[in-house]
Structure 1
């Protein structure tokens, strides 16, 4: 196991602990008991990012432990600002103060990643019916999830993430989905699209 693999393993261990112990307004969600699905999805994300991104995020997780905060709670809370505004208003006092510097970086990340999302949905319309949607106006789940995720990262992690994705000459969203289905034993995205 190399250094990046060790970093990812530690990230996944911490994230699962935080995720499975989240308290939800509507009670415990089924996905909080599905560790295998969680690990497939999250490992596919981290494995496709640079060691520097992963290491910076791991430091975020360690800092969260020190400050007794839960970045996964923050992620889903920030998503609710777009999907369940009334519920968000009840919990927003538990979130860190808005960081305008970070928000500007996230906007640049959003522009790049949402273009990849659109390309993926256009290329794989059948698969896209089973993933986070992008065509439900401004509160589309893919966009809400992206913003929620990145607001839970530190400014530094977002900056490193932005610099990394600017170097890519492929669609990162497609690559992550491709890895997810491979880990589930399916051949590839084109085969899956053709079978639906």
Structure 2
């Protein structure tokens, strides 16, 4: 697999993924009715674009293929993500209503999901130490925080990671291990893009103004 030929091609691939995810998001049926965030394209786009801005080309290409494969098989990856989250936020409902309809991950995939999510939690903890006000504006970090009524970074990550193909998970895990070895924080990379899309000059600027 080769990377993109230039930044324009990479950006087009990212935007194509986000549009497919938005279309899937529109078809998610919430227990309490349609959620307000389903009408908020701007926030959705910023959140998803910020995430993919921190990925390498191989991850983007692999996940683009995941979305195309899912659509061709009638799967809604966004709906599956939220369903997988309910395994932690509402386990009784998940067991009774959802589990039998969900894809089953093998042990190798589950181990990759766990290792990637551990890294992401560690990154968020490091970010919270450096930028506490910025961190407080986001999700709780660990799954214990789900009780607050807001889905934690850990639970959200596991729900989303479980929708990825094995190839995407392997590429993600390789990337995580490279970042860890280099002392790089993926959460900081994502937030750097995110705060700039919201109009701040930098993470430090956002922290000072929050």
TM-score by length of 2: 0.87
Q: Is the 8 A contact 2:46 2:194 kept in 1?
A: yes
Q: Does 1:60 align with 2:66?
A: yes
**Structure 2: runs of 5+ lacking an equivalent:** 1-6
SS in 2 for 1:180: helix
Match of 2:195 in 1: 181
User: TM-score, normalization: structure 1?
Assistant: 0.93
Residue matched to 1:152: 163
Q: Which structure's relative contact order is higher, taking Cα pairs within 8 Å and 6+ residues apart?
A: 1
Task: Specify whether residues 28 and 2 from structure 1 end up closer, same or farther in structure 2 by C-alpha distance, changes over 3 A only.
Answer: same
1:17 Cα deviation (Å)? 0.4
| Count, aligned residues | 196
Deviations 1:56-75 (A, max 9, x none): 11111111112111111111
Tell me which residue corresponds to 2:144: 137
Q: Is the 8 A contact 2:192 2:202 kept in 1?
A: yes
Root mean square deviation of aligned Cα = 1.6
Cα distance change, pair 136–112 in 1 and its aligned pair in 2 (3 A): closer
Residue ranges of structure 1 left out of the alignment (5+ in a row): none
Distance 2:86 2:152 in 1: 10
Q: Is structure 2 residue 80 aligned with structure 1 residue 69?
A: no
Instruction: Identify the residue that residue 86 of structure 1 maps to in structure 2.
Output: 92
1:23-48 Cα shifts (integer Å, max 9, x gaps): 11111111100001101110111121
Moved over 4 A (4+): none
Counterpart CA distance in 2 for 1:134 and 1:13 is 27
